[in-house]
Structure 1
Amino acid sequence: NYRGISLLSSISKLFEKLILSRLLEFANQNNIFLQEQFGFRKGHSTIHQLARVTNIIKRNKSVSKTSAMALLDVEKAFDNVWHDGLVFKLHRFNFPIFLVKIIKNYLAGRSFQVYLNSSHSETFNVDAGVPQGS
């Protein structure tokens, strides 16, 4: 059960960083992230989230309130990203159309081959998921 790594040129990596910075800038300026969202946000680490949850539990305990927590870990979440669904969400949150088109085109028409020693597999289309290693 392996997940392929995308090997990108330096120009592609630079382009991705530029697009990511534009996406994050728009998301932050428009308060798209919930206050409770700590993953994938600068200055919001797992440690910060753990401290926040611990403080909530302590506060509730000090006033004799019960605390409950539901945790969700989506297995292979990045492998299963539905491309059309992602584009729909970007539209729904009113991301600039040029960014939506870039993301849509970036994910469209992807394929892969497996190389092992001196042979390789047939080409497979990638209909879901986002590249790892980019």
Structure 2
Amino acid sequence: MALTLNIAADNGLNLPDAVLVIDQLNVTKHISDGYTLSLNATPEGAIYQANNIPKESTGLAFRVQIFANEDMVRQGKQPICQLPNDKQPNQALFTLQLDTNNTEQPLALAYAHIQNLYPKAQVCDLADIGVQ
């Protein structure tokens, strides 16, 4: 799966048939120990009791490679550049927090995020252009 659209690369080059490909997709898990300590708030002489309520959060991390056209992808050429993160333009790594009840595939979620940023982008199945 990929997305095709007209986009300007970071070097100012206009790419009317650019292909965006998700790369280095990772599912991340973070477990917090749940402790918040505030001994100043404990009355003098009281026994301090803390309940450990760990919190788990899941996220996605990925990069988006920009190819000038489908031929570059077919021929296995290097991408022109990486798409900058919409929230931190000086970084190319995208990160998303996921709802723990979400059952969608990570790749579909990553592409949905990019399609929200570029609503005119067309979905392109890489198998349709000869890429396995």
Q: TM-score range by the shorter chain?
A: under 0.3
TM-score normalised according to structure 2 size? 0.19
Mark the structure with the bigger radius of gyration.
2
Structure (1 or 2) with the greater helix fraction: 1
